[in-house]
Structure 1
Amino acid sequence: METPITGKMFQQKSYFQYIQSSDGDENEPQYQDKFGMLSGFTSISCGETILSNVKPCSSKGTRNVGAVEKPLKAEEKNKSADISKQKEQCVVPCDVQAKILRGEKHYMCRNLQNSLVEYARSTKKLVRNMMDDQQSSLDYLSNQVNELMNRILLLNAEVLRKHLDPVSYKAVQSHGLDCTHIKDTVGSVSKTPTGLYIIHPEGSNYPFEVLCDMDFQGGGWTVIQKRTDGIIPFQRPWSEYLDGFGDLSGEFWLGLRKIFHIVNQKATSFSLYVDLESENDKHAYASYNGFWIEDEACSFKIHLGRYSGNAGDAFRGYRKEDNQNSMPFSTFDVDNDGCRPKCTIKDQPVKSCSNFSDNTGWWFNQCGLANLNGVHRYTGRFLATGIHWDTWTANNKPVKIKSVSMKIRRTYTPYFH
C-alpha cells in the first residue's frame, strides 16, 4: 500500500517528513530510493506544494536521484540570482520615478491653474459681450415698440380728426394784415370766429392762410405753432421750417418767412404767448411782451421782451449757455447752435443740438431748456429730445408736455423799433 507524502510549507523552502508505510520496512532499498529523491530542503517558491503518491522504484532508483538533484540545485541558483537582480534594479528606478511623478504633478497643477485663469477671463468676456448684445437688442426692441405705439396714436388721432366738423376751419375770404387786424376790422361789423383766415402782411410778396384764435383773451391771436397729438412729425430740414408744414386744422409750423413778415410790419410790435398742457392735463403759460425775429440772412434770430407767467422763462434759462434769446434758428442740416465745436448734455458730448433733439428745429444755444418742436411724447433716454420747457417743474422734475401752442398778437406800441 502506498502512503501519501505531505509537506510542511515555509517562506521559500519546503521540508518534507517521511511517513512510514504500514506495510513495509523503511530500510528497504525501494523506500530509501523513494524518500532519498525527496530528502533535504528544496527551493520552491511561496505557495507551491507537492502532493503525490510515491511509487516503488526499481533497483536503479539511486542513479535517478542523482540525476534529479543536479537540475534542482542549478534551478535554485538561477532563481536566487534573478531575485537579487530584480531587487537591485528596483531600488534606483523607484526613486527616479518618484521625482518624475512630483515634477509631472507640479507641471499639471500649474497648467491647470493657467487654464482656469484663462477660462475665467474668457467666460467674463463672453458674459460681457452677451450682456452688451442683449442690451442692444433691448434698446432696438424698445425703439420698435415706441415707434409702433406712436403710429397707433397717429392713426387714432387721424381717425378722430376726420370725424370733427370741418366747417369752422374753412378759410374765410377776408383779407387783413394779420389776425389782430382782421379782428379789429371785420370784428367791428360782425362776430369773427376762431378759424382759418387769409392774411397778406406788409412786406410779403404773397398772401397765405393762417389760424386765428378769436376767443382767447379777447382774440386777435395768430397761431404760429401747434402740437396736439403727434400726427405731424417735426423732424424736418431747413427748407421746410422756412415755408412751414403740417395742417392748420391740426398740428403745424407756420414757417419762419411768414412769421418774419407778420412781426416786422411797420409801426407794430407783437407779444408771444406760449400755452402748455401736461400729460396729466395741467396748464401753464409763458408770456413775452415783445417778440420778433430777424431776416433769413441772419438765420431768423429770435428776440424776446419781458417774461411773465407760471411756467418759468425757459427761453433764457438759468445759465448763460441756457439763454436762447438772440440765438439763430437751427436744423439738422443748417447748424447755427452754440455748440462750438461741441457741448455736453448729461455727460454726453453733443455736436449738434438738432441731431440731439431727433433732428427737430429750434433756436438752440447749448442746447437750452426749451424746445417746443421736440418729439411728441418722447419716451427715450433724454427728456430734452422731446417737447420740453424745463423751467416748468413738479417735484423738482421737468413736467412732461402733452400739447403746446405758440401765438402772437399786436401790442400796438412798438417795442423793438
Structure 2
Amino acid sequence: MKIVVQLITLSLLLLLIDANQYCDNLVRECNANFKTRCLLNFTINNCCDLKLFSSPSGIYKLRKGAFDTGNGYCDMDNAEGGWLVIQRNKKDSKVNFSRKWKDYEEGFGDVKSEFWYGLKQLRCLVERGQWEMRVDYQTSSKAWAYIHYTQFSIGSASDEYPLMVGGFTGIGSNTFATSNNMKFTTVDNENDKWSGGNCAARYASGWWFNSCHGINPNQRPPYPSLLFVEMKIRPKNCITQ
C-alpha cells in the first residue's frame, strides 16, 4: 500500500514540477527494490536519465517537461549508454521508407524493429541544450563500424528541419558531411540540390539530401549497401551526469 501511495503522489507531482526536478524525484521516490516497477509506470525525460538506475536497453515512455513525446528505444549498452534511437533500418526491412512529408514529421514504423522517430519529436528534444549523435552500422562484409558527431541538431519546421552536425569521430568515414545544413526532402517536398529531379523519389526514402550522394540510412538496403544501420542521440553531458 505504501508503494501505491508513493506512485500516486509522484504522478501528481509530475503535473507540477519543472523538468529538471523530474529525475531527482524518481531517485528519491523509487528505491532500489521497486525501481523496475517505477520505470514501467513513469515516463523519463530522455534515455540518459536511465543511467541513474543502471537500466537495460529497451523501450521506455519519454516526456519533455509536461509533454509526452511517445515511446522510445533506449540503447544503454553502446558507448556508455543513454542513447535514444531515432532511426533503424536493415537490408530485409519490411517497413516502407518511401513516405510523404507528414509521415516523416510524425514518425512511422515500430521501435521494436525498423522505424523513423519523427522530425517533430526530434526538434522538440534537441531545440534546447547540446546533443551528440552516433550511428552504428554493419557493412555488406558483415563488419561493424560507427561514426560519431559531437554536435547534432535540426532546425525548425518553418525552415524544413535542416540538419546540423559537427565534430566527427569514429571508425567510418564522415558520410554526413554532404547532408550538413541541408533541409529535409521527401517525395512530396523537394529541398535537395540535384538538378535531375527529386532524390527522395529516386531512392524511395526521405532524407537530408544534397545531390543524392553520401549516406542514406532510409533507403533499402541502406546506402552504401549496408546490412543494418541505427542512428541515436543523447545530451552531450550524459556521461558526466
TM-score (norm 1): 0.46
d(CA) in 1 for partners of 2:138, 2:175: 15
Aligned residue for 1:242, secondary structure, equals: helix
d(CA) in 2 for partners of 1:286, 1:207: 26
Amino acid at match of 2:82: G
Q: Indicate conservation of the 8 Å contact 1:175/1:182, yes or no.
A: no
1:254 maps onto 2:117 in alignment: yes
d(CA) in 1 for partners of 2:163, 2:157: 12
Aligned residue for 1:274, secondary structure, equals: strand
Question: 1:353 is matched with which residue?
Answer: 199
Choose the corresponding residue for 1:329, options 184, 187, 204.
Answer: 184
1:374 maps onto 2:209 in alignment: no
Query: Structure 1 residues 310 and 207, CA, compared in 2 at 3 Å: closer, same or farther?
Result: closer
1:242 maps onto 2:105 in alignment: yes
Q: Indicate conservation of the 8 Å contact 2:133/2:234, yes or no.
A: yes
Q: Indicate conservation of the 8 Å contact 1:173/1:197, yes or no.
A: no
Amino acid at match of 1:182: L
Q: Indicate conservation of the 8 Å contact 2:98/2:200, yes or no.
A: no
Choose the corresponding residue for 1:207, options 45, 69, 75.
Answer: 69
Shift of 1:337: 0.9
Question: 1:197 is matched with which residue?
Answer: 60
Choose the corresponding residue for 2:164, options 303, 322, 339.
Answer: 303
1:388 maps onto 2:223 in alignment: yes
Give deviations 1:122-141, integer Å, cap 9, x for gaps. xxxxxxxxxxxxxxxxxxxx
Q: Indicate conservation of the 8 Å contact 2:69/2:121, yes or no.
A: no
Shift of 1:241: 0.5
- Where in structure 1 are there 5+ consecutive unaligned residues? 1-170, 317-322, 343-349, 377-386, 390-399
Choose the corresponding residue for 2:232, options 382, 407, 410.
Answer: 407
Q: Indicate conservation of the 8 Å contact 1:315/1:368, yes or no.
A: no
TM-score (norm 2): 0.78
Shift of 1:409: 1.2
Question: 1:230 is matched with which residue?
Answer: 93
Amino acid at match of 1:208: G
Amino acid at match of 2:96: P
Equivalence map 1:15-414=2 (5 Å): 172-184=40-52, 187=53, 191-202=54-65, 205-228=67-90, 229-265=92-128, 268-316=129-177, 323-339=178-194, 342=195, 350-358=196-204, 360-376=205-221, 387-389=222-224, 400-412=225-237
Question: 1:26 is matched with which residue?
Answer: none
Whose helix proportion is higher, 1 or 2? Answer: 1
d(CA) in 1 for partners of 2:157, 2:182: 13
d(CA) in 2 for partners of 1:173, 1:337: 43
Shift of 1:205: 4.1
- Where in structure 2 are there 5+ consecutive unaligned residues? 1-38
Shift of 1:280: 2.6
Q: Indicate conservation of the 8 Å contact 1:256/1:300, yes or no.
A: yes
Amino acid at match of 1:302: L
Aligned residue for 2:134, secondary structure, equals: strand
Give deviations 1:52-89, integer Å, cap 9, x for gaps. xxxxxxxxxxxxxxxxxxxxxxxxxxxxxxxxxxxxxx
Question: 2:7 is matched with which residue?
Answer: none
Shift of 1:182: 3.2
Percent sequence identity is: 31
Q: Indicate conservation of the 8 Å contact 1:201/1:207, yes or no.
A: yes
Q: Indicate conservation of the 8 Å contact 2:45/2:64, yes or no.
A: yes
Shift of 1:173: 2.8
d(CA) in 1 for partners of 2:179, 2:108: 23
d(CA) in 2 for partners of 1:310, 1:218: 17
Question: 1:79 is matched with which residue?
Answer: none
Aligned residue for 2:68, secondary structure, equals: coil
Amino acid at match of 2:218: N
Whose strand proportion is higher, 1 or 2? Answer: 2
Q: Which has the higher contact order (CA 8 A, sep 6+)?
A: 2
Pair member with larger Rg: 1
d(CA) in 1 for partners of 2:78, 2:42: 20
